[in-house]
């Protein structure tokens, strides 16, 4: 064992009965089934401390070598939101104009999306998620990061669930390319944009595409290899 390794007792241990565990699992399932991506937001303000708490929750995600290779740029400033919308719509115009390819655009037609993104200005918050390709150690020296996309993907999932738990609606937006986010938000060259999350309350007339409500059943998304003596249900 390396001399650098220091262990502490596992904190926050949960001791649940099987029934309690099952109840929580089913409760969580019901909770996340109520999360839906929306494209129509109200301009109702959301306090900064709520966003801060959700970002801190995202920061608890596991990561390669615990390097936590993420940065969350949280944007509430109307001028910056306008710049982001204008830049995103330029890229989206090219995408929907043919760059996306016929098959991709055909699949997106079921979701009713197009090049116009007014929600980027209407929603009170935009959270631009960045992948940190290279970090620094405690002494300020350059440090390689590991499993960056996987780590940031997990953290983004934590963030989406935290925002949903706070009663907020979200939309994951990935204009391609997204280099404009680095420029507008003045992020260093050691980071690359990963995703733009739109955050706020849904508008009173918000809708979702019917196709988006159809989720694959368990047998299509999972395989179980169980022991014959598996714990009885």
Is the per-residue pLDDT at 99 higher than 60? yes
**Rounded mean pLDDT, 178-190:** 96
**Rounded mean pLDDT, 153-173:** 97
Separation CA 82–CA 29 (nearest Å): 36
List the structure tokens of 32: 């996340």
Q: What is the pLDDT of residue 112?
A: 67
Is the per-residue pLDDT at 142 higher than 70? yes
Structure confidence at residue 73 as a pLDDT band (50, 70, 90): very high
Fold annotation for 44-185+198-203: NADH Oxidase (3.40.109)
Say if strands 125-132 and 142-144 run parallel, antiparallel, or are unpaired: unpaired
Return the number of other C-beta atoms located less than 10 Å from residue 74's C-beta.
16
Which range of 20-24, 105-109, 114-118 scores highest in mean pLDDT? It is: 20-24
Report the candidate in 33, 47, 37 with the shortest Cα–Cα distance to residue 195. Answer: 37
């Amino acid at each position: 064992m390396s001399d650098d390794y220091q262990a502490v007792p596992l904190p926050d241990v949960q001791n649940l009965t099987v029934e309690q565990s099952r109840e929580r699992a089913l409760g969580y399932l019901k909770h996340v089934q109520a999360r839906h991506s929306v494209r129509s937001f109200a301009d109702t303000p959301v306090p900064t401390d709520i966003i801060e708490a959700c970002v801190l929750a995202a920061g608890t995600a596991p990561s390669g070598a615990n390097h936590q290779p993420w940065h969350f740029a949280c944007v509430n400033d109307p001028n910056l939101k306008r710049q982001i919308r204008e830049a995103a719509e330029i890229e989206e115009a090219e995408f929907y104009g043919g760059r996306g390819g016929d098959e991709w655009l055909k699949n997106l037609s079921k979701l009713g999306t197009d090049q116009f993104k007014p929600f980027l200005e209407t929603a009170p918050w935009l959270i631009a998620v960045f992948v940190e390709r290279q970090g620094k150690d405690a002494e300020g020296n350059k440090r390689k990061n590991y499993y960056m996309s996987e780590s940031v993907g997990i953290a983004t999932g934590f963030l989406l669930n935290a925002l949903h738990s706070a009663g907020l609606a979200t939309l994951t937006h990935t204009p391609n390319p997204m280099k404009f986010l680095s420029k507008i938000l003045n992020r260093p060259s050691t980071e690359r944009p990963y995703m733009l999350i739109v955050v706020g309350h849904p508008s009173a007339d918000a809708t979702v595409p019917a196709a988006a409500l159809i989720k694959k059943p368990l047998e299509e998304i999972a395989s179980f290899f169980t022991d014959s003596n598996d714990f009885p249900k």
